[in-house]
Copies of this chain bind each other. A is one copy, B any other.
């Protein structure tokens, strides 16, 4: 939610001169994206988003992220398209930072998602899983089960500040996950961060997905598990089975689940909750000085993880096999 790198209009003029978009008409630093600096940029050709990639995004991952958006957009998947300059480059540099100009997407993120929103997200996620199939680059998910023990080390010492015994609970979960994590489910490119902020709607119609900067290769059903956590709980942390049913059924109308995916869903959802619990816990215990974002309460995902621990089967999520 910040603009970390300040861009002068004169420097943007020079940058834009390498594209066929006409002159700069307006620019505004926007509070979107936690990791990068984003500008709303209007040229004589229309509106765009300019992103400057800050330190938390690894520069060598950018061809994957931008290539994925390009690959999806070419198949009419609703997501931002990186704009190419006259040399055919979309990954550029501005103010010493890697930078890209991407297409502007209409729509707004709902604050209070409805079941209709959840269905839209399910359909779009399945569509993305199918359409990313032909994408040739790959990127490992360093925030999946193999990275969790290392992730936990960053908060072990002080996890007890959140709740007594939390450190042991996390270690126990990781041990279980390492032992039980499915390895042979359908895999592909997943969004891996499809939270409400990253989905735009016009009215109740989904208009696009943004922020592909956690996208990676992993189990498709793990993306579904992340979506269940992100979209199907109330702000009061209660699970909403109506939303979950809408989300899951819309997904499988586009891409049917294999039985093994359905069976694994409670474990994957529990693991996804654990992953966000740990990253939020880390950000909570290590607030960045001068950060513009208030760390989110890790207890939200602790509650979700415990909920999934009590789930007997995907039927509890409203997913009936028939």
Contacts and interface: CB of A to CB of B under 8 A. Distances in A.
Given A107-B26, A292-B292, A10 B112 contact: yes
Nearest to A109: B9
Interface stretch (A27-35, A166-174, A237-245, A307-315): A27-35
A67 interface: no
Instruction: State the oligomeric state as a number of copies.
Output: 2
B30 A108 contact: no
Contacts of A29: 1, 30-32
B112 A23 contact: no
Q: How large is the interface on A (under 10, 10 to 19, 20 to 34, 35 or more residues)?
A: 20 to 34
A165 interface: no
A34 B127 CA distance: 42
Given A8-B111, A9-B108, A110-B9, A32 B23 contact: no
A176 interface: no
A153 interface: no
B42 A32 contact: no
Contacts of A1: 3, 29
A203 interface: yes
